[in-house]
Amino acid sequence: MAERDGVDRYTESQGKLSAAIAIAADAFVGKYDKSGEPYILHCLEVMKNVSKWEDDDLRIAAVLHDVLEDTSITAGDLKGVYGFNQRVISTVLAVTFKKNCTEEEYMMQILKICENQDAIKVKMADLEHNSLILRMKGIDDKAMARTKKYHKAYYILKAHLLKK
């Protein structure tokens, strides 16, 4: 179970969005993305990418989108320890993928995300940032395959977002 160290201060004085940013920052201390940047910057970029919807619950889910997948924080912690609402938790759960899934499993998860409009928006924002060519250290076959997978997923999600 995650610790509340310092979270009450943020929650009471600056609101849930500031708390979510602090939680993500704490959770990803010392972790770096594929480009060598502090991982929290990715979370903040995803949050920034959903800001066009002017929805704090969506921003919260976006900044927390990788905490269940990549840290020891659980969905129970998001509710019981941190007090986030069910909409945020459902969105974060929807975009949480199992480690080392096959491409078929990945696409099945993308189709599942299509059932949740908030999850579509967060995952599209995540894919937008993950697909930036300047974030890649190099473009080898593995990077190209990943980019193609992200591109396909993005357009599946986009089609479902437009239908609803």
What Å distances lie between residue 39 and 46, 70, 92, 104, CA to CA? 11, 10, 17, 26
Whole-model pTM: value is: 0.88
Range of 101's domain?
A: 7-163
In a domain, 34, yes or no: yes
In a domain, 106, yes or no: yes
In a domain, 140, yes or no: yes
Count of CB atoms situated within 10 Å of the CB of 17: 15
pLDDT per residue as tens digits for the range 26-72: 999 999 988 889 999 999 999 999 999 999 999 999 999 999 999 99
CATH value at residue 19: 1.10.3210.10
Q: Which two tokens stand for residue 23?
A: 């939680």
In a domain, 17, yes or no: yes
In a domain, 1, yes or no: no
pLDDT the model gives residue 7: 55
What Å distances lie between residue 55 and 52, 124, 131, 161, CA to CA? 8, 15, 24, 16
Separation of alpha carbons 65 and 88, rounded Å:
10
In a domain, 158, yes or no: yes
In a domain, 2, yes or no: no
In a domain, 12, yes or no: yes
pLDDT per residue as tens digits for the range 60-110: 999 999 999 999 999 999 999 999 999 999 999 999 998 889 999 999 999
Three-state DSSP state, 135? helix
pLDDT the model gives residue 4: 53
List helix spans (H) across 1-140: 7-27, 39-50, 56-63, 67-70, 75-76, 86-94, 103-113, 117-130
Residue 101 · residue 110 · CB < 8 Å: no
pLDDT the model gives residue 1: 46
pLDDT the model gives residue 140: 83
Number of domains in the chain: 1
Separation of alpha carbons 144 and 82, rounded Å:
38
